[in-house]
Chains A and B, each alone.
Chain A
């Protein structure tokens, strides 16, 4: 994926940082010309991913950057941690699966909201979730 500058990166260590990441991601979305519905989807996805970082990995980073794959333009949202990893990636993508007592809608919900979605997880070494929202 081509990085075209303008990367925003927010360290997630507390619930306050979730708000900061949401705000930064939304502002990047505004700069890229996304409409209100997409901006809400981007902010909500960041919120879910950032909370997962806190819940399962204690901390991590949310990184957002513009993507330009002619003729499409979009935003990449990445959640990166060095936590315990996800042993069964298929399971966490099922609605209602949760080990934290939550609703279990986080990851499958983000996958539904965004246009592209990928998880790479190495048990014991960490997880990277990458999602893309294309404009239009």
Chain B
């Protein structure tokens, strides 16, 4: 299943609708890395609310997305990790360190506004 990527102003929002095959996760990673350039996006929000499992492969791919997007000059935030998913991730030993996570899409948009505003200030020396 392909993940729809929506363009919302300066951000891309990838909204995962169902459980994903490994190949779908890789395709999502590649599409985001590409489109962040196409649309000159400042940030990427990955909404995983619908994912019932974040196993070691999914976490590794999310980390790769965050690293690749950072190298492309934009920010990434993961939103919507469900409580029981967080529980099993911690038990498994997956901390998703170095990747920003917030509660939901609303918080994700606020996070992006804060982060990209700060970047703009830095850019123009304010």
Contacts and interface: CB of A to CB of B under 8 A. Distances in A.
Physical interaction between A and B: yes
B60 to A, nearest CB: 6
Interface in B62-98: 82-85, 87-89, 91-94
Given A19-B21, A48-B55, A106-B56, A40 B94 contact: no
A22 B88 contact: no
Nearest to B55: A47
A43 B54 CA distance: 10
Say whether chain A's binding surface is mostly helix, strand, loop, or mixed. helix
B88 A51 contact: no
Interface residues of B, number: 23
Contacts of B82: 40
A50 B13 CA distance: 30
Given A36-B84, A37-B84, A44 B53 contact: yes
Report the interface size class on chain A: 20 to 34
Contacts of A44: 53-55, 88-89, 92
Nearest to A50: B55
B56 A22 contact: no
A16 interface: yes
B38 to A, nearest CB: 27
B87 A41 contact: yes
Nearest to A43: B53
B55 A41 contact: no
Contacts of B83: 36-37
Interface string A1-38: 00000000000000110110011001000000000110
Given A40-B87, A44-B89, A102-B56, 16 more contacts: A15-B22, A16-B21, A19-B19, A40-B52, A40-B85, A47-B55, A48-B56, A48-B92, A95-B93, A102-B60, A105-B93, A106-B56, A109-B91, A112-B91, A113-B91, A113-B92
Interface of B: 19, 21-23, 52-57, 59-60, 82-85, 87-89, 91-94
